[in-house]
Structure 1
Amino acid sequence: MDGGRWRGGGGGVSRGLLPLLAVHAVNEYYRLPWKPPVTAGLLAANTLMYLRPSFLDSLLPSIDEVWFNPHLILKNKDMKRFFLSSFYHIGESHLAYNMMSLLWKGIQLETSMGSSEFASMVVVLLGMSQGITLLLAKSLLLFLDYKRAYYSEYAVGFSGVLFAMKVVLNSQSEDYTNVHGLTVPARHAAWAELVLIQMFVPGVSFLGHLGGILAGMLYVKMKGSYSGSDPLTMIIRGLSSALRWPLRFIRDMFRLRRRRISGRGTTGGIWRCQACTYDNSGWLRICEMCGTSRSSNGGLSRQVSRDSRHLPLEELRRRRVERFG
């Protein structure tokens, strides 16, 4: 998350980072044998929130209505700020950096987990990271009388969820990774990035990123103690299956129609005449070439004419030319 105050309605003029992001995303998806749909949806949602195209502008709240501020959220029970603040960004570089990170982490996690479980995880991490950030700010106010984090900090951005995803992604890794030029164990990469960002990037939300790390740790702990799919994953899986059913129905209808039209071009829809060896459509009961009947079990009926069995090869060729010539 980015903190501080920023006034404005959305995207503004592109400085070239968004086209670069688009090219990179398309290139990454093009080389994948399976295209992770949830990651693509999250990329599109964040980008559309920032660009605010005319058909969405009147429907989307302004950034001033969604800043994550603990005091306003608790005072007004403002769930809009609680959830939507993660999908807003204060500049093109902020959006591009977060979406590059989302693309890399999302592809790996969704490919390994499956789309339903990945979608469930993102929803849980979003709620937990925001909730923990809120709890941390309130705790600092109550126990240390630190008011700035509770009253004065305003933050937006998807980075809280991204920090949580980083923890989940690296939770079982024994490798080392590079964090802004510093080589650290992958399991501790999120903590190293938290410290380095605070040192070199002014104005970012420390509590927002810390809340994301703690949310990721809590998710890994809960996942390790629970076997099987969680209820939210099962709900998402059921909804996605229900949404795919009409598409499967339409696709199967088109396949059936093509099968009826093509006849001979379908597997299992061809039978070979034992009299003249001509391949006929499965919809026909009589050989197109020599007129021999087909029995119900796919062979010849017993009423095969002797003439049909002993037709000369040249005569069969002549009939075929006459039929299709």
Structure 2
Amino acid sequence: MEDLLGSYIIFLILLFVETKGIPPVTLAIIILNMFIFLSPALGVGEVCLSVSTTLYGCEWQRLALAPLHHIDLDHLGFNMASLVWKGSRLERRIGSARFTFSICSFGLLTGLTYLLIKATLSFLLSDRFNLDCAVGFSGILFALKVINNGHSCDGNIPGPFHIKKRDACWAELVLIHLLSPRSSFVGHLAGILVGLAYVMGPLRMMINWITGKETSSVRFAECCQLSRNGHPDRDSDGDCQSTCLPRHRRQRRRC
């Protein structure tokens, strides 16, 4: 296990160099998850999220603990590698303070949405859904994916299927469940719904009310401004160039 962990740390260092540094809050979340995995104070069964333990048993601390625990090293490694990319992009866009509050909100709301879906399935189909238990950061990662794609200029994901960036989360939801049937489909779905609540307005308005209006970025529909030859200005990863932000402020109607 130590060899695998060493390889994982080297991988994170290479990602750190490649991305020119991981923002502080994203890096702190990665370190916290790794520390909890290496020195767990509680077992997975004591922190996992389920209707029977959390909703009926009133063990609400599981809403905060479940995202920070992982089943095995592969589970941890995949989620943290994904967080390096998704978390770094969003934290640089909206700032560390707003990102911290957003992550906490996404964790709480993803957990509550998961419980609501499971309780509904239990009421409509079978009581066994009350016993399903989930841990891991992947629900929050799906919310981050939806939001990051919402900040990108519209376009297709490279590949044979021509999937739009805004729809990529749904394809990933199905693909991950097919490749890893043990993964929590409902947990990932809950993350997507929370991300959509942010992109479409209600959750975004709540966070704006608490932390102040987001000023470091604008939504993709407002950001993409046509250049003289009729093509949107983009940077290397498909996002709008940062130079469009001052133009957006001065010439709002043209964006």
1:41: which partner in 2?
A: 28
1:214 matched to 2:193: yes
1:146 matched to 2:126: yes
Change (3 A) 1:182 1:14: farther
1:104: which partner in 2?
A: 85
2:26 touches 2:83 (CA, 8 Å); kept in 1?
yes
2:64 touches 2:108 (CA, 8 Å); kept in 1?
yes
Of 129, 137, 148 in structure 1, the residue corresponding to residue 118 of structure 2 is 137
Offset at residue 230 of structure 1 (A): 3.4
1:21 touches 1:100 (CA, 8 Å); kept in 2?
no
Q: Which runs of structure 2 are paired with 1:114-125 in the superposition (5 Å)?
A: 114-125=95-106
Offset at residue 224 of structure 1 (A): 8.2
Of 154, 171, 175 in structure 2, the residue corresponding to residue 192 of structure 1 is 171
Offset at residue 200 of structure 1 (A): 2.1
Structure with greater Cα Rg:
1
1:87: which partner in 2?
A: 68
2:86 touches 2:144 (CA, 8 Å); kept in 1?
yes
After superposition, the C-alpha distances for 1:198-230 in whole angstroms (9 at most, x for unaligned) are: 222121111111101001101222368739843
2:114 touches 2:187 (CA, 8 Å); kept in 1?
yes
Change (3 A) 1:141 1:223: closer
Change (3 A) 1:33 1:102: closer
1:164 touches 1:216 (CA, 8 Å); kept in 2?
yes
2:22 touches 2:84 (CA, 8 Å); kept in 1?
no
User: Aligned equivalents of 1:167 and 1:113: distance in 2?
Assistant: 15
1:14 matched to 2:14: no
Change (3 A) 1:209 1:63: same
TM-score between both structures, scaled by the size of structure 2: 0.75
Offset at residue 21 of structure 1 (A): 2.9
1:62: which partner in 2?
A: 43
After superposition, the C-alpha distances for 1:74-111 in whole angstroms (9 at most, x for unaligned) are: 12211222221111111111110001000011111111
1:25 matched to 2:12: yes
1:164 touches 1:215 (CA, 8 Å); kept in 2?
yes
2:177 touches 2:185 (CA, 8 Å); kept in 1?
yes
2:146 touches 2:192 (CA, 8 Å); kept in 1?
yes
User: Aligned equivalents of 2:143 and 2:207: distance in 1?
Assistant: 21
Unaligned runs of 5+ residues in structure 1 are: 1-12, 235-325
Unaligned runs of 5+ residues in structure 2 are: 213-255
Offset at residue 14 of structure 1 (A): 3.3
1:159 matched to 2:138: yes
Q: RCO greater where, 1 or 2, for CA within 8 Å and sep 6 or more? A: 2
Give 1 or 2: higher helix fraction. 2
**Structure 1 letter corresponding to 2:138:** S
Change (3 A) 1:182 1:37: farther
2:102 touches 2:207 (CA, 8 Å); kept in 1?
no
TM-score between both structures, scaled by the size of structure 1: 0.60
**Structure 1 letter corresponding to 2:101:** S
2:109: which partner in 1?
A: 128
1:167 touches 1:217 (CA, 8 Å); kept in 2?
yes
Q: Percent identity?
A: 32
User: Aligned equivalents of 1:43 and 1:207: distance in 2?
Assistant: 23
Q: Which runs of structure 2 are paired with 1:174-323 in the superposition (5 Å)?
A: 174-178=154-158, 183-222=162-201, 226=205, 229-231=208-210, 233=211
Structure 1 range deviating more: 197-206 or 157-166: 197-206
1:14 touches 1:92 (CA, 8 Å); kept in 2?
no
User: Aligned equivalents of 1:145 and 1:31: distance in 2?
Assistant: 48
2:118 touches 2:130 (CA, 8 Å); kept in 1?
yes
Change (3 A) 1:228 1:102: closer
